[in-house]
Structure 1
């Protein structure tokens, strides 16, 4: 078994875990810089497809060109994520964050030049922007473990996801207002500025692994990360459950919700209300999980993930609009009940020198399979009907977390030997 170096010491010498937990993470200047960077990157990630959608409305783009740009961004993301995981474990996580976000920052003005004049230039720029977006995800995840001491990481992860949810809630209105005052090209430059902020404001981290790593092939290094992931059955089980929920429940509701809102209720109000209810629920979930420490945290997180099953179930049944809104509130609460402990456990349990690679596997599957689900859901509805597809997706959303909970170690998102108090060399 490979030797894992000890994590960096807590910043306050002699402080107990309880004392460290009581110190507000919002008083930590290094964390505030990290929080600002992740918030800017999250807002930039959300803003790009929204701004490109506005470009379709003002006829700068056609619907086909929009699809090409979004597909190019997704391809760039998927290609960059595993490579970034390797680089962030080989080199400074802060440096990987800088260069990946800077790549996106440079790509956005190029995309602005291509929109409306050169579709191929815009598509290449979209692919590069997606690569920068994908490359920063595992690096940011690993940098969090270096900047924040372990007792406060759950609070830190909750604060970061809370910021992303708040911006997601208010950003559409702000962006729509800006679209009245500025052109699509100017808005794309603005997204580039957000990426520049994400590149420059995060602090330097403390390297959690010591010693110079031998130079090996990227594929071999990524395979080493896969072996590390296999050492944690709870991680593979949780990742499988998350991927199943995103590929089925998330995709089905994304496709069917607009149809149900139009055909069953006769307006777009249910669509807008459910989307808002989901974000509100996520805000509530992030606030709750920032402080809540259940004894069986892994099982509680998986139970939260299973709450997403109420979303396709509500769309399946002839319920009043309020029931659909309530289902989406539950789904939002549940996804943050899962996300925050999941990120925190990964940062705690995975070997520090392999954290970025394991995190890249997480993002590669959970984010990468979402478009696949969206592509397959519509043909499945045509073949089997919306009721069958929604029912199957609801079953998967409930069953996948339940099955994951049976895997050893998922009770506390920790390896069984550690849970039993054994000490590994």
Structure 2
């Protein structure tokens, strides 16, 4: 079946809509804070603090949510995490142009809601979609998020011009209402007999489950390395190169748009493609991100830089969709949310560290050596992960012969 046929299922359509709303709201908050700096509602120092506490809230909530989503209902976890994000977004609206403490409290609470819903959403896919259609389902969800980020900046900027940043913050709160209320109830899971272990012990059970899958640990290490280096090169070096080499922001905007367009193409491709060596194919797609820093090494025609980012976008979805599908397929459903939380905690949690380190590295060693190092990591990390047991198919089970 195609991803479109999955969307005809009412339960998945509700989950897809809720996930899309949460993804769009998560993306929109930093953008709105940036617009608030432009219109003077927030200072540059306030922006840095707001983004910092948002990230801290996200990281603090992810492991807690993983445990709670496995302990209780995944649907309930989505509900309370979305409610937290609603309250946080409303507080952000009050803090724009108002007390800084209110803005920071709202960003922390919104970040916690954003982080708390991720593992629960991933686990809900298993309860709503049958195994044969999960790859199409994951492709449909990533397609919607990429499409939203492609068109949302212009719409958000237009709305900010017409109504102001406070109104946009309230729109974000409304998106979180949709994300909290719309997803369906999943399967009823029997409560385990006897007393439950403590929070730390339950999270440790998730780590133990992750260790049962060497391909998962290796793939997560590769993903973390690529995000901390390749993504950081895009976040820091691309704006510098666009300004200094190409004389403005045109290449920056074109490259990021090309990346999103490539990700859309990748999501469509992977919704239908079932390579035999699905793990190696996914890791190869992840390694393609080395093209991003390589395209910035020397002055190249603009179309070459943009084309490199299009290919990177295709490659990242060739990794993402099979990766999420494999985790949903291979991990014990009873610990799925905890393993997913470990995934988000490491891969996205270390991204700010990469962003914080790459600018001083460029200042110390220069742009070209840092870009070469980032490209080398983007190639070597997936290549090493491909050597792990089970990496060929992202599975502990050997391939079956027809």
Q: 1:24-423 maps to which residues of 2 (within 5 A)?
A: 24-207=5-188, 211-212=192-193, 214-415=195-396, 418-420=397-399
Greater mean alpha carbon deviation, residues 43-52 or residues 105-114 = 105-114
Greater mean alpha carbon deviation, residues 76-85 or residues 263-272 = 263-272
Quote the Cα distance in structure 1 between the aligned partners of 2:45 and 2:21: 28
Question: Post-superposition shift, 1:264?
Answer: 0.7
Question: Post-superposition shift, 1:341?
Answer: 0.2
Quote the Cα distance in structure 1 between the aligned partners of 2:73 and 2:41: 40
Moved over 4 A (4+): 20-23
Q: Aligned with 2:25: secondary structure?
A: helix
- Unpaired runs of 5+ residues, structure 2, are none
Deviations 1:262-314 (A, max 9, x none): 11111211001001000000000000000100000000000000110000001
Q: Aligned with 1:203: secondary structure?
A: coil
Q: Aligned with 2:296: secondary structure?
A: helix
Q: Aligned with 1:24: secondary structure?
A: helix
Rate the CA distance shift 1:99–1:213 in 2: closer, same or farther, 3 A.
Answer: farther
Rate the CA distance shift 1:59–1:142 in 2: closer, same or farther, 3 A.
Answer: same
Q: Aligned with 1:315: secondary structure?
A: coil
8 Å CA contact 2:214–2:388 kept in 1: the answer is: yes
Number of residue pairs the alignment of both structures matches? 401
8 Å CA contact 2:91–2:105 kept in 1: the answer is: no
- Unpaired runs of 5+ residues, structure 1, are 1-19
Question: Post-superposition shift, 1:211?
Answer: 3.7
Question: Post-superposition shift, 1:197?
Answer: 0.4
8 Å CA contact 1:90–1:213 kept in 2: the answer is: no
Quote the Cα distance in structure 2 between the aligned partners of 1:317 and 1:419: 44
Quote the Cα distance in structure 1 between the aligned partners of 2:336 and 2:190: 10
Quote the Cα distance in structure 2 between the aligned partners of 1:392 and 1:213: 52
* TM-score w.r.t. length of structure 2: 0.97
8 Å CA contact 2:3–2:140 kept in 1: the answer is: no
Rate the CA distance shift 1:402–1:209 in 2: closer, same or farther, 3 A.
Answer: farther
RMSD: 1.5
Q: Aligned with 1:316: secondary structure?
A: coil
Q: Aligned with 1:368: secondary structure?
A: coil
Deviations 1:110-159 (A, max 9, x none): 12112222101210111011001000000000011110000000000000
Q: Aligned with 2:281: secondary structure?
A: helix
Q: Aligned with 1:419: secondary structure?
A: coil
Quote the Cα distance in structure 2 between the aligned partners of 1:202 and 1:26: 13
Quote the Cα distance in structure 2 between the aligned partners of 1:142 and 1:243: 21
Rate the CA distance shift 1:213–1:298 in 2: closer, same or farther, 3 A.
Answer: farther
Quote the Cα distance in structure 2 between the aligned partners of 1:391 and 1:121: 42
Rate the CA distance shift 1:211–1:42 in 2: closer, same or farther, 3 A.
Answer: same
Rate the CA distance shift 1:348–1:159 in 2: closer, same or farther, 3 A.
Answer: same
